[in-house]
Amino acid sequence: MQPTGRLADSKSDDGRYRLLIEAITDYAIYMLDPTGVVSSWNPGAQRFKGYDADEIIGKHFSQFYTEEDRATDLPARALETARREGKFESEGWRMRKDGTRFWAYVVIDPIRLRSGEVIGFAKITRDLTERKAAEETLRRSQEEFRLLVQGVTDYAIYLLDPSGHVSNWNVGAQRIKGYLPEEIIGKHFSQFYAEEDRAAGMPEKALEAVRRDGRFEHEGCRLRKDGSGFWAHVVIDAIRRDDGELLGYATVTRDITERRDAQEKLDKTREAFMQAQKMEAIGQLTGGVAHDFNNLLMAVLGSLELMRKRLPDDPKLLSLLENAVRGAERGAALTKRMLTFARRQELKQEPVDIPDLVRGMAELLQRSLGPAVSLETRFPPRLPPVSADANQLELALLNLTVNARDAMHYGGEIVIAANELTLENGDGRLKPGHYVHLRVSDTGTGMDEATLRRATEPFFTTKEPGKGTGLGLSMVHGLAEQFGGRFNLRSKVGEGTTAELWLPVAQAKANAPGRPRPGDSAAENALPLRIVAVDDDPLVLTNTVAMLEYLGHVCYAASSAQQALDILKSDDKIDLVITDQIMPKMTGLQLAKAIQSDRPNFPVILASGYAGLDQESAIKVPLLAKPFTLDQLAAQIVRLDVQPRGGGESALFPGSGPE
């Protein structure tokens, strides 16, 4: 009875195994006979292959394979492998009943008797389509990312291992740094740094910062394969596992040399623009102050001159008077410099021969420089004349040479040189045309960049208190601009300074420059005229009227242009109008135009310290530069050759006239 009991237990085990297999739905578990025909079918096989048991049992398992696999006899080879090696395991595409594919993990085991005879095969299949799709998505993503990284040419993107050695290399890195992958992979990234940066430990500090903070970002100089430098923006990020273990570093480098150069140019342009705005503002302020100061000096000098003619012949009084006049004249010279810087000083431009001008003032220059300084001139055989004011150009050269002398504490050499240059397209500050490039060079101490930038600012000086006004170079700058040229300084510490004047070539040949002849004293020969003096400054107006009356003229005072017009309407015997230019509501030129619209060719003299008066759009009138002397005023009136229309009394000092 014992065998019966074991048989009963066996049947009980078979039942449990069947229940287990029938309960599995995530795996297809079925048996094949030795030829590959399906002999059993579990619910899991039915669920993802789509066949009911009665549809598939008795059919060959090869129908689960794709057409391509059947063509290569894969089903038979799978059974043969299982029979020979005891197991067949693979992944591949399989077919459902509806013809769709799924990705399957397959294991085939042979079923043998104790004798070793194969009586069939146990086949287990798992549907891995979702995992396969996820892997394919990941693979495709990784491939796209690899292609993306390799396709980037504007950035160097590469990986470093934890010790800092290059482990991969994209096309952008090759283009920017110059290394082929086989030349750089395995090398330490520190070779991209300059020698001084490596000596300072910058590569190690960068990796340490990444390990500590997770990221390092920096701009600095890096080296290419050929040794040339470029300005780089570098970002290094740490790459870690989920557990925090450091795998390496992702490095992204961009060549920003062009951007940095462009930014530097923009900064310099912005700085130059701000400097130009500052200089323009200073010029406006300087011009306004100088104009008002000019009017004060006009009143002072005119009154002093009249007092000198009326005072008794007392040596002590005359000495004091002359001292006051010299002080006022120094103030006038300072004002002219300020107006020149502000480009408001009236200049007389004419052809000037520079070699003749320099030769004519050579003795003055050498006396000013002293015996410790040698002066040399270098001019070509033929140098065209320039369009300039000879006296002001002499003053500019004197200023430049004296500045050069002061920069050479123990003596040295000054060279004045010139040559002709032609600008075809101009340079932004100069118009196209022919220029003479005049240079004054010294062997002095030179200037640093900060001093050089401020050198032409008014009142800026590096000299000791009382040794300079700080207006010399600013005056030269203003003169050059007013001549239609340009002034420039080049200097380096220890290499001296070169002051450059670009002056436009004159159309006519130069006459030898000469000192202006003093105005002829015309007080005794002038015919008495009826004159209207116009000025909104009462000090200047009083002084002008007094000077005119001293010259024997009858003068009417007008504090505005409208008042002058009213006087002219009420008196047709007026012979001449002398007017200031800058006045409220109506300028001197506008007044002259209004007068001559009713009285064509009526004589008007414009008295002003300003330059650049726009007479082209108005009318031509003679100019009398402020502050003017008695002789200059008389000479200007005589040059007009005005014929008197009648007599009269002064409106300011009735009954007064020439003594």
Task: Please say whether the beta carbons of 385 and 443 come within 8 A.
Answer: no
Q: What is the pLDDT of residues 297-352, one digit of tens each?
A: 777 777 777 777 777 777 767 777 777 777 766 666 666 655 554 445 556 678 99
What three-state secondary structure class fits 127?
A: strand
- pLDDT at residue 524, as a whole number: 46
For residues 594 and 592, give the distance between their C-alpha atoms in angstroms, rounded to a whole number.
5
CB neighbours (10 Å) of residue 59? Answer: 13
pLDDT band at 468 (very low <50, low <70, confident <90, very high): very low
pLDDT band at 525 (very low <50, low <70, confident <90, very high): low
- pLDDT at residue 307, as a whole number: 76
Q: Which of 330, 323, 283, 288 is nearest to 307 (CA)?
A: 323
Q: Which of 563, 530, 509 is nearest to 646 (CA)?
A: 530
Q: What is the pLDDT of residues 183-223, one digit of tens each?
A: 999 999 999 999 999 999 999 999 999 999 999 999 999 99
For residues 391 and 280, give the distance between their C-alpha atoms in angstroms, rounded to a whole number.
25
Averaged pLDDT for residues 63-71: 94
Asked if the model's pLDDT at residue 289 lies above 70, the reply is: no
Let me know if 331 is exposed, middle or buried by CB neighbors in 10 A (0-12, 13-18, 19+).
middle
Q: What is the pLDDT of residues 594-614, one digit of tens each?
A: 998 888 889 999 988 665 455
For residues 581 and 623, give the distance between their C-alpha atoms in angstroms, rounded to a whole number.
10
E strand intervals along 274-360: 350-352
- pLDDT at residue 565, as a whole number: 94
- pLDDT at residue 582, as a whole number: 84
What average pLDDT does the chain have? 80
More confident residue, 472 or 648: 472
What three-state secondary structure class fits 245?
A: coil
Q: One-letter amino acid identity for 452?
A: L
Q: What is the pLDDT of residues 23-53, one digit of tens each?
A: 676 788 899 999 999 999 998 888 889 999 9
User: Long-range contacts of range 118-123, CB-CB < 8 Å, 24 or more positions apart?
Assistant: 118/34, 118/83, 119/33, 119/34, 120/31, 120/32, 120/33, 120/34, 120/39, 121/31, 121/32, 121/34, 121/36, 121/79, 121/82, 122/29, 122/31, 123/28, 123/29, 123/30, 123/31, 123/32, 123/61
More confident residue, 646 or 362: 362
For residues 645 and 637, give the distance between their C-alpha atoms in angstroms, rounded to a whole number.
15
For residues 11 and 99, give the distance between their C-alpha atoms in angstroms, rounded to a whole number.
39
CB neighbours (10 Å) of residue 88? Answer: 20
Q: What percent of the chain has pLDDT over 70?
A: 77
Distance of CA 82 to the CA centre of its chain: 79
More confident residue, 427 or 496: 496
- pLDDT at residue 94, as a whole number: 93
For residues 62 and 70, give the distance between their C-alpha atoms in angstroms, rounded to a whole number.
7
- pLDDT at residue 446, as a whole number: 84
72 Cβ contact partners less than 8 Å away, ≥ 6 residues apart = none
Asked if the model's pLDDT at residue 532 lies above 90, the reply is: yes
Q: What percent of the chain has pLDDT over 90?
A: 36
76 Cβ contact partners less than 8 Å away, ≥ 6 residues apart = 36, 62
Residue 32, beta-bridge partner list: 38, 121
Task: Please say whether the beta carbons of 49 and 97 come within 8 A.
Answer: yes
Residue 122, beta-bridge partner list: 31, 109
State which of 264-268, 450-454, 643-647 shows the largest mean pLDDT. 264-268
E strand intervals along 492-628: 497-504, 530-534, 554-558, 576-580, 604-608, 623-625
> What global pTM score does this model have?
0.39
Question: DSSP for 129-185?
Answer: HHHHHHHHHHHHHHHHHHHHHHH--SEEEEEE-TTSBB----HHHHHHH---HHHHT
Q: Which domains does the chain have, with CATH numbers?
A: 21-129 (3.30.450.20), 152-255 (3.30.450.20), 268-341 (1.10.287), 350-504 (3.30.565.10), 530-640 (3.40.50.2300)
